[in-house]
Amino acid sequence: MDYLIEITQKERMLYGENLILLEGSMREFLSCMDMIRKYQKETSGWDPVASCSARIKKADSMTEKLKRNGLVPTSYNAIHEVYDAAGVRLICPLIEDVYLIVSLIRQIPGITIRKEKDYISHPKPNGYRSYHMILQFPLRFLPAGFACDVPWLEIQLRTIAMDCWASIEHQLKYKKDISNSELMQQELKRCSDEIASTDLSLSTLRELIAASEQGKEKEV
């Protein structure tokens, strides 16, 4: 499967030759995820990932972040001092699929996990829910001289419902001159709680369907 990763001249100037590693690391990870998805679908009849996307952090955004952290905006700092130059988002149908994929990612040979944050079990105050991982994915084909420079990847996993909420919240957050912003935040939090309830209900429905299918198999 091919993934479109948007890169402009600004990113090429900021990341330099490290851009090869950022792209390679994401594509290697996504290729591995494709195999995991195919295996899970073949063995269980269920694809635990609805969709994947990947991105290189925009040069302007990375430059701003580095300066905010008191760092000079260089290629080295963008790769080694912060951990989200390359990002992958995995959208899963249900909550249990998120945790299944997290477990399978941990089992990938040679992977290094630096940090995990479970914002599903422990949502942010504004209602944001997602599972975050910072990891290094082993590269099979490294150019000479890059052996110690495998970049970190930021992985976000969430359900379809969580992703819908996060996309709307992201757009609203950057609107200027919003009246009644406090009311908006309250409504977003309420919507997040309702979405979490819907995710749980969908998981229950899936369990009921699975139990019904098992019952039919026993009758046969």
- pLDDT > 70? residue 124: yes
CATH number of domain containing 156: 3.30.460.10
For the purposes of burial, counting CB atoms within 10 Å of the CB of 42, is it exposed (0-12), middle (13-18) or buried (19 or more)?
A: exposed
User: What is the number of structural domains in the chain?
Assistant: 1
pTM of the full structure: 0.89
Q: Is residue 77 part of a domain?
A: yes
Distance separating alpha carbons of residues 173 and 176, to the nearest angstrom: 8
Q: Is residue 108 part of a domain?
A: yes
Mean pLDDT across 177-200: 85
Asked whether the beta carbons of 150 and 18 are under 8 A apart, the reply is no
Query: Per-residue confidence at 177, pLDDT binned at 50, 70, 90?
Result: low
Q: Is residue 172 part of a domain?
A: yes
Tens of pLDDT, residue by residue over 49-91, are: 999 999 999 999 999 999 999 999 999 999 999 999 999 999 9
Listed residue (132, 139, 164, 201) closest to 51, CA to CA: 164
DSSP letters, 2-24, are -------HHHHHHHTTHHHHHHH
How high is the mean pLDDT of the chain? 89
Two structure tokens written together for 166? 């996060």
End-to-end CA distance of the chain: 39
Return the ∠ at Cα 125 (arms to 58 and 188), rounded to 5°: 80
Asked whether the beta carbons of 87 and 152 are under 8 A apart, the reply is no
Helix (H, G, I), strand (E, B) or coil at 212: helix
Distance separating alpha carbons of residues 186 and 126, to the nearest angstrom: 8
Q: Is residue 72 part of a domain?
A: yes
Residue 22 domain boundaries: 9-219
Query: Per-residue confidence at 34, pLDDT binned at 50, 70, 90?
Result: very high
Tens of pLDDT, residue by residue over 96-114, are: 999 999 999 999 999 999 9
Q: Is residue 2 part of a domain?
A: no
Q: Is residue 4 part of a domain?
A: no
Phi and psi angles of residue 89, each rounded to the nearest 5 degrees, phi first: -115, 130
Listed residue (104, 128, 88, 120) closest to 39, CA to CA: 104
Tens of pLDDT, residue by residue over 142-163, are: 656 555 568 899 999 999 999 9
Provide the pLDDT for residue 214: 73
Q: Is residue 74 part of a domain?
A: yes
